[in-house]
Amino acid sequence: MTSPCPPAALPTVSAPSARTPAGLVGNTPLIWVGEPFTGPGHGFWAKLEGANPGGIKDRTALHMVGEARRRGELRGGAPIVESTSGTLGLGLALAGITYGHPVRVVTDPGMEPMMRELLTAYGAEVHLVDAPHPVGGWQQARRERVAELLAAGPGAWCPDQYHNPDNVSAYRPLAHELVTQLGRIDALVVSVGTGGHSAGVGSVLREFFPRLRIVGVDTTGSTIFGQPAAPRLMRGLGSSIHPGNVAYDLFDEVHWVAAPEAVWAARRLARCHYATGGWSVGAVALTARWLAATMPAESRIAAIFPDGPQRYTGTVFSDAYCREHGLLTTAPPSAPQEIADTTERIVTSWTRCTTVTDPLGRSAVPAGAAPHAAVVAP
C-alpha cells in the first residue's frame, strides 16, 4: 500500500530545523520595542539572543571549542574547564555534548540554583567556590579554582573567555545577522562582561557603518571602565577584573546602571512587551530607551538582549528577593547623570560618560587579532 500523498499546498514554515542542537545556534529574531516602554514615535530593535538553545554564549562556546580543536590545543575527549556566572556554562555544556568533551564549570554562590541544576542535567560538573578572593572578589576566586582543576587534569583546556580572541570573533555572524535584518544601523547598545560580544559585533558593524554610535552598558561597582570594585548583585555584565577582550576604542560612551534600575526596566519590559530578560537585558533596555528618546526618530537602534527571563525568576522577577535587596523602586530618572571622566567620582546609579579609555592604558588590539591566550594544562 502506498502512503497517502501530502496535501498539495503546505503552509510555508520559516522556523529553523537542525539535526543537532548546535545547528539551532544563531539566526535569532529581532523585536521592535516601542510604546509604552518608550515614548511615542520612537523605539529600538532588540536582538533576542535568548532564542539560542542556551543564550548568547552558545555562539562563543561552540566557536572557542571548535577553534581550539582545530588548532590541536584541545584534544579529543579532553576536559574543558572554565569560570562562568552561567550563560557560558550552558554554551560549554552544549559544546561538550556536540564535540564529546567533559565540561567542568567553576562558579560561586551567586549562581541561581536552577542554573546549577540545569548545568548538571546537561552533564557538566559544577564546582562552587565558597569565599571571595580578598582583592579580586568572586571572579578571582573562581579563576584560582580553574587553575587548580587545570593542574589536576592532564590535557584539560580552559577557553579563558576574558582574554581569548575567539570570544570576540565568535560574534561576527551576529553582526552580519543584524545587517541583514536591519539594513542600516545608527546605534548599537551592548552590555559588557568579558567584552566578547561588544567587541565582535561592534567591530564588524563599524566596518559597515563607520558613523555607528556604540554604547557600552556596565553595572555600578564594576571595574571594567575604571570605577573601583564594589559588591555587585547584577551578573552577566560587569567584572571585578580588567578583561583583555574589551575593545575600549570602539565605544563612544559607557553607561553604568544600578541593580534597581535594571530590575525596573526588565519588569516593565515583561509587562508591556513580553520579551525581556535579566540584569543585562534590563540595563541595556533602560539605556536603549533613553537613546531612542534622544536620537532623531528615524534612527535605527539595535540593542542586544543576551538571554531570556527564565533564569531570573528567583531574583529580578521575585518580589521577595527584590524587597530583601531594596530593588523595588519607582521608575528611574528619564536620563542618566553625567561624568566627564570615568574616574571623576564613584557612581552608584545610572550614569553616562562619553570619554572611554582602558583603565590599564593597554594599547588597542584589533578585535579578534590578539595573541591567543587560552590555557592548556601540561
Ligand X SMILES: Cc1ncc(COP(=O)(O)O)c(C=O)c1O
Q: Which residues bind ligand X (CB under 6 A)?
A: 57, 87-88, 191-198, 236-237, 280, 306-307
* Least distance (Å) between residue 8 CB and ligand X: 46
C-alpha span between 32 and 40 (Å, rounded): 13
* Least distance (Å) between residue 55 CB and ligand X: 6
* Least distance (Å) between residue 50 CB and ligand X: 9
* Least distance (Å) between residue 347 CB and ligand X: 19
User: Based on CB atoms, which residue is closest to ligand X, 87 or 98?
Assistant: 87
- Whether the CB-CB separation of 284 and 304 falls below 8 Å is answered with yes
* Least distance (Å) between residue 184 CB and ligand X: 24
User: Based on CB atoms, which residue is closest to ligand X, 168 or 301?
Assistant: 168
Residue nearest to ligand X (CB): 236
C-alpha span between 154 and 152 (Å, rounded): 7
